[in-house]
Structure 1
Amino acid sequence: MIEKVNPSHPDKVADRIAGAIVDLAYATEENPKIAVEVLIGHGKCHVMIETSATLSFDEVKRAINRIAGDVKQDIVIVPQDKELAANQVDEIRCGDNGIFKGVPLTEEQLKLSKTARNLYEKYPMDGKYILDGERLIICQSHAKTTDLQKLYPTAQINPLGDWTGGTDVDTGATNRKLGSDMADSVTGGGLHGKDLSKADVSINIHAFLKAQQTGKPVELVCAIGDEKVDGLPYSEIVEEARDFVDQLGGFEKLAKWGLF
C-alpha cells in the first residue's frame, strides 16, 4: 500500500517553501550550506534558516507569498555553526550521520503517483490518496464527490464528505510526508530544506536511484566527515544528486512530489 499527497497539502506547502529557500541559496553560491525548517498554518508561517549563504529577507518573503499566499511571516536567518561549517572547508565531505535505504518502486506505487498527478491537474487544491491493492481512497478538497465518483467509479471518495483543505484547516511542517515522497525508501533522514552536502539529501537520492537501477534494495550508513560512501567519493554522490535535482528544476520542484 502507498499514500501520496499533492503539492497543495499543508505539509507539502511547507516542503515547497523550504525548497524554494534552498534554491535561493544556490542562486548565490555553488555549494551553500543551508538547513530550513517551516511550520505553516492558520494564516501564519514560521521559518528557521541556518545558512552560509547571504539571503535577502525580501526574496524569502516573496517565495513564501508565492507558494502560501498572504500569511503572516516569522522568519529567522542565522549563520551555520562555524565548527560544523569547517567540516566542508577543504573538500566536499559527508555533512551528516545517517542510515539510508533505497527500495525499488512497485507497480502499485507508480500507479498511485500517476493517479495523484492526474487529479492535481484537474483539482490543484489540497488532496491525499491511498492505494491498497484494488482499494483506492481519494480525499480531494474543493471537488464534488459526485464528480470524482464519475472519474473513479470504484474508488472510496471523501469518506467524511466534501471538505475545504489547505493551511486554513490544517498545519504543515517540513519533512512530515516522507512516505509520500520516498515510498519504502524512508529511513530517518528528511529530504527537504537542506543543501546537497547533507546526507539526508544526497545519499537518500543515491540509494533510491541505485535501487531503481539494480532492482534490489540498498542499505547504506555514513558518518559526518566521510570522504567515501558506498565505495564512491562523496563528491560524486553530491554531483549525482545535483543532476537529479537540476533535472526536476530545483529543490522546490523536488518538494512538489518527492522522488517519484
Structure 2
Amino acid sequence: MIEKVNPSHPDKVADRIAGAIVDLAYKAEENPKVAVEVLIGHGICHAIIETSADLNKNKIKSAIKRIAGNVKCDIVIVPQDKHLSDNQATQIKCGDNGIFKGMPLTNEQTALSKIAREIYEKYPYDGKYILDETDLIICQSNAKSEHLKVSYPFATINPLGDWTGGTDVDTGATNRKLGSDMADSVTGGGLHGKDLSKADVSVNIYAFLRAQETGMPIELCCAIGDTEIDGKPYSEIVAIAREYISSIGGFEKFAEWGLY
C-alpha cells in the first residue's frame, strides 16, 4: 500500500516554500548552512530560517507568494548555530546523526507516481492518491468525480464527494509527507528545507539512488562529524546529492514530488 500527494497538497506547498528558500541560500553562497521550517494555512505562512547565508526577506516573500498565493508572511531569520557551522569549516563532514534506508521502488509505487502526475497535469490542485493490492483511491479537489471516472473506471474517486482543498481549508507543514516522498525508504530524517551538508538530505538521496541501482535495500547510519559513510568520503556523497538536485532543477522542484 502506498500514498502519494501532489505538489498542491498543503504539506507539499510548505515543502516547496522551504525548498525555494534553500535555493535562495545556494544562490547567495556556494555551500550555505540552512534549515527551514514552514507552517502554512488559512492565509498566513510562518517561516523560521536558520542560515549562514545573507537572505533577502523580500525575495523570500516573493517566493512564498509565487507558490502559495496572496498570503501574509511571517518570516523569522536567525544565524545557523555556530557550532554546527564550525563543524563544516575545514572540510565537508556529516552535519547530523541519523539512520537511513534506501529501498527499491515497487511496481505499485512507480505506477501510483505516474497516475498522480497524470492527474495533476489536468487538475493542478490539492490531491491525494492511494494504491493497495485491490483498489486505487483518488481524492482530487476541484475536479468532477464523473470526469475522473472516465479515465479511471475501476478507481474509488472522491469517496465523500467533490471537494475543494488547499491552504484555505487546511494547513501544511514541512516534511509531513515523507511516506509520499520516499515510499518504503522512510526513516528518521526529513528531506526538505535543509542544505546538502545535512545527512537527512544527502544520505537519504544517496541511499535511495543506490537502492534503485542495486535493486537491494541499503541501510546506513552516521554520526555528526563523520567524514566517511558506506566506504565513501562524505564529500562524495554530498556531490552525488548535489548532482541529483541540480538534475531535477533545484530544491523547490525536489520538494514537488520527493524522490519518485
Aligned to 2:81: 81
- Correspondence for 1:186: 186
CA distance in 2, matches of 1:228, 1:68: 39
Opposite residue 63 of structure 1, the aligned amino acid is: A
Corresponding position of 1:231: 231
String of CA shifts for 1:173-223, please: whole Å, max 9, x gaps.
000000000000000000000000000000000000000000000100000
Amino acid at match of 1:147: H
TM-score by length of 2: 0.99
Q: Where do 4+ consecutive residues of structure 1 move more than 3 Å?
A: none
Which SS does the other structure have where 2:252 is aligned?
Answer: helix
Residue of structure 2 equivalent to 1:147:
147
Residues in 2 aligned to 1:195 and 1:134: alpha-carbon distance in whole angstroms: 40
5+ residue gaps, structure 1, are: none
Is 1:128 the counterpart of 2:128? The answer is yes
CA RMSD of aligned residues (A): 0.5
Q: What residue is the counterpart of 2:250 in the other structure?
A: 250
Counterpart amino acid of residue 181 in structure 1:
D
Q: Which amino acid aligns with 2:222?
A: C
Mapped partners of 2:170, 2:61: distance in 1: 21
Question: 2 CA distance for matches of 1:81 and 1:251?
Answer: 22
- 1:43-75 CA-partner distances (Å, limit 9, x unpaired): 010000000000000000000000000001100
| TM-score, L = length of structure 1 | 0.99
The 3-state SS of whatever aligns with 2:255 is: helix
What's the counterpart of residue 98 of structure 1? 98
Q: Give the secondary structure class of the aligned counterpart of 2:237.
A: helix
Q: Which runs of 5+ in 2 are unaligned?
A: none
Helix, strand or coil at the partner of 2:99: strand
How much does 1:134 deviate?
A: 3.6
How far did residue 84 of structure 1 move?
A: 1.4
SS at match of 2:45: strand
Task: Provide the C-alpha distance between the structure 1 equivalents of 2:65 and 2:42, rounded to a whole number of angstroms.
Answer: 14
Question: Offset of 1:32 from its aligned partner?
Answer: 0.3
Q: CA deviation at 1:131?
A: 0.4
Mapped partners of 1:145, 1:200: distance in 2: 38
1:10 matched residue in structure 2: 10
1:117-152 deviations in Å (ceiling 9; x for gaps): 000000000000000024100000000011111111
Q: Tell me the CA shift for residue 7 of structure 1.
A: 0.2
Residue-by-residue CA offset, 1:144-176 (whole Å, 9 max, x unaligned): 011111111110000000110000111000000
Comparing 91-100 with 131-140, greater Cα deviation is found at 131-140
Distance (Å, rounded) in 2 between the aligned partners of 1:51 and 1:231: 30
Aligned twin of 1:207: 207
SS in 2 for 1:8: coil
Cα distance in 2 between the residues matched to 1:18 and 1:82:
21
Distance in 2 separating the partners of 1:66 and 1:228: 39
Amino acid at match of 1:47: A
The AA in structure 1 aligned to 2:83 is E
Distance in 2 of aligned mates of 1:32 and 1:174: 19
TM superposition shift of 1:257 = 0.3
The whole-number CA distance in structure 2 between the counterparts of 1:134 and 1:25 is 45
